[in-house]
Amino acid sequence: MQPIVQVEHLQKSYEDLKAVDDVSFEVYSGEIFGMVGPNGAGKTTTIEIIEGLRKADSGSARVLGMDPTQSREELAERVGVQLQQSALPPRLRVVEALELFGSFYRQQADGKELLKRLGLEDKLNAPYAKLSGGQQQRLFICMALLNKPELVFFDELTTGLDPQARRSMWGLVQEIRQGGATIFLTTHFMEEAERLCDRVLILDHGKVVALDTPEALVGGLGVEKRLVFTLPEEQALPSLDGLPAVSRVERSGSRVIVYGQGRRFASSVVVALEDEGVDLVDLRTEQANLEDVFLKLTGREMRE
């Protein structure tokens, strides 16, 4: 596959602080690529070097085959950017922001349609300064999509959004990808990366700690998944030995824990039990997640 973003041995220091320390990776066409890590890990510095807003001390970044510092205008036509920190004139109205930023591009999406998609259609005439943090964030996301970009950068996609808006944003990102665009996002929410991203780069203290699909990262921990449910004590538990995904079964009183691995683990167990006519009460699955991966790789808790 063709890399859309190529980063090699990127380094950036602020005085004594190595904010980005020898970072290399590639982003491929059509994927949702996530960079995760705690606050201060160097995500914004990295993404803004790639966007052409900051200069690396050494190493190289190429976007769509171009050098972001040299081809600012050409790249800006083809990529969309939502910055972690930016602003609009306080008295600029939402509709004016779209009109203004739309006028900068050769290619334009329907701004009002985007506003609607992001639930801002009743804020058309609101001045920027009167919007809540979440509304400002959604407006910036709108603006990042105004030029029908091939590649979209989101720095802290869902900061300031409530859980419901966050989920809706994940849906939007998936839609944008289905439309053919490539997504490069940063987040400090591990859950977001795990749900949304095809591949995840874990960054800590400016260094790449891991880079893989969320499944592979979690699978690499070698921790078994668990399926837990309640079964009346008098009811017999059918044998699950025939299922390749299952490694063992524990039962204490009415509580049953099935251990196993693989993508189809939970579904195969549920199907097998239902075929036997077992009523599954209080069913839940437990499995390791990216937080556990971060803990294992860095020895520290990933705090939100």
Partner 1 sequence: MNAIKTLTIIDFKLFLREPIGTFFTLAFPIILVLLFGSIYGNEPTDLFGGYGTMDISMPGYTALILTTVGLMNIPITMCSYREMGVLRRLKVTPLKPMSFISGDLITNLGMTLLGMSFVVLLGWLLYRVRFEGQVIPLILGVIYSSLAMFSIGYLIASLAPTARVANVVGLVLLYPMVFLSGAGMPLEILPESMQNISKFLPLTYVVRLLRGLWFGLPASELWPSILVLGVILLICGLLSARLFRWE
The 8-class DSSP code of residue 127 comes to B
Report what 28 binds from ligand ADP, partner 1, Mg ion, none; CB cut-off 5-8 Å by kind: none
Q: Is 92 helix (H, G, I), strand (E, B) or coil?
A: coil
Check: CB of residue 36 under 8 Å from CB of residue 209.
no
Stretch that binds ligand ADP, among 14-22, 107-115, 127-135, 267-275 (CB under 6 A): 14-22
| Residue 19: CB minimum distance to ligand ADP, A | 4
Question: Contact between 7 and ligand ADP (CB under 6 A)?
Answer: no
| Amino acid identity at 99 | E
Check: CB of residue 27 under 8 Å from CB of residue 1.
no
Report what 17 binds from partner 1, ligand ADP, Mg ion, none; CB cut-off 5-8 Å by kind: ligand ADP
Question: Contact between 278 and ligand ADP (CB under 6 A)?
Answer: no
Give the closest residue to 31 by CA, choosing from 64, 3, 67, 52: 3
Q: How many CB atoms lie within 10 A of CB 182?
A: 22
Question: Contact between 34 and ligand ADP (CB under 6 A)?
Answer: no
Stretch that binds ligand ADP, among 41-49, 216-224, 275-283, 288-296 (CB under 6 A): 41-49
CA 4 vs. chain centroid, Å, equals 18
Pairing of strands 207-212, 199-204: antiparallel
| Residue 43: CB minimum distance to Mg ion, A | 5
C-alpha distances (whole Å) from 112 to each of 109, 115, 161, 262, 267 are: 9, 5, 21, 44, 42
The 8-class DSSP code of residue 131 comes to S
C-alpha distances (whole Å) from 74 to each of 23, 106, 282 are: 25, 11, 56
Report what 86 binds from partner 1, Mg ion, ligand ADP, none; CB cut-off 5-8 Å by kind: partner 1
Report what 37 binds from Mg ion, ligand ADP, partner 1, none; CB cut-off 5-8 Å by kind: ligand ADP
Helix, strand, coil percentages, rounded to 5, for the chain:
35, 30, 40
| Residue 76: CB minimum distance to partner 1, A | 4
| Residue 158: CB minimum distance to ligand ADP, A | 14
**By C-beta, is 133 or 244 nearer to partner 1?**
133
What are the residues binding partner 1 (CB under 8 A)? 51-53, 72-74, 76-77, 79, 81, 83, 85-89, 91-92, 96, 99-101, 103-106, 140, 143
What are the residues binding Mg ion (CB under 5 A)? 43-44, 84
What are the residues binding ligand ADP (CB under 6 A)? 14, 17, 19, 37, 39-45
